[in-house]
Amino acid sequence: MLKAEQKTLYSCDYIFGYLPEIDTRAIEKMVLENHAKKRVMHEDPNNIRGEDIRIDYDDNIKKLKNKLCSQYELISGRKIELSCDANSKIHKDRNESYWAIVHDRGETTQLHSHENFKNYAVGPHISAAFWVKVPENGGDFVFQYSPNKYMVSETTMKSIEGYFLIFDSTLQHRVTENLSNDQRIVVSMNFNLVDI
C-alpha cells in the first residue's frame, strides 16, 4: 500500500514579538526632533525614501538593534548584523540600515521590499519594524505575496506600540492609511545574515 505525505516546498516565516524594555518615549522624542529638522533620506517626497527619517544611532537604537538580533538568533538559530556593519563598503550610508517613519493623518507607505536587486548576496537579507507609537486606527502592516503566479494574497499585522516584526527583506509590504489625528511612528532596520 502506497502512503501519501505532504511536504513543504517553500515557506517564508516572520517573527512577531514584544520588547517592553525598549524606551519608546525616548526614541519618539529623538525621531520627532529629526523629523522637525526634515532629516529625510531623499529630498523628493514622492520617492519611497522621501518619507524615511534619518535617526541617531544612540543608546536606545543600539539596544533595539541588539534585542532584535538576539530574538532572531534565538528563534532562527542564525546570526544577523546591521547591513552597514556587515558590509560597510556597500552600505556606506549608515541610515540605510536604520531609519524612522512618521505618518500623520492620511499618510501610508506604498508597496515595496528591501533587498538589493542588483546583488542579493550583499544584502539586506532580513528587515525589521519596531512600533514606537501607534494611535488607534494609526495604520497596519500588510505583507503582500503570491502563492502562485495567478494569485496575490495579503496578511495584515496589527501595529502595536512596543512590538516588533522581523521578516525576509524580499517580502513585499506596505502600511495602511493612518486614520487617526495623531502620529504613527515606526523604526525600521535592515540586517545581513552573517553566515550566508
Distances (CA, A) of 116 to 90, 172, 192: 10, 13, 11
Give per-residue pLDDT as tens, 70-88: 999 999 999 999 999 988 8
The grid coordinates listed for 59 are 543608546
Cβ-Cβ contacts under 8 Å for 169 (sequence gap 6 or more): 113, 114, 115, 123, 124, 125, 126, 127, 190
Give per-residue pLDDT as tens, 158-187: 999 999 999 999 999 999 999 999 999 999
Q: Are 152 and 146 in contact (CB under 8 A)?
A: yes
Percentage, residues of the chain above pLDDT 90: 77
Q: Which of 50, 84, 40, 69 is nearest to 130 (CA)?
A: 69
pTM of the model: 0.93
Give per-residue pLDDT as tens, 1-37: 678 988 888 888 999 999 999 999 999 999 999 999 9
Q: Are 65 and 82 in contact (CB under 8 A)?
A: yes
Residue 92's pLDDT is what?
Answer: 84
d(C-alpha 140, C-alpha 134), whole Å: 9
Q: Cell numbers 522621501 label which residue?
A: 50
- Number of Cβ within 10 Å of residue 25's Cβ equals 11
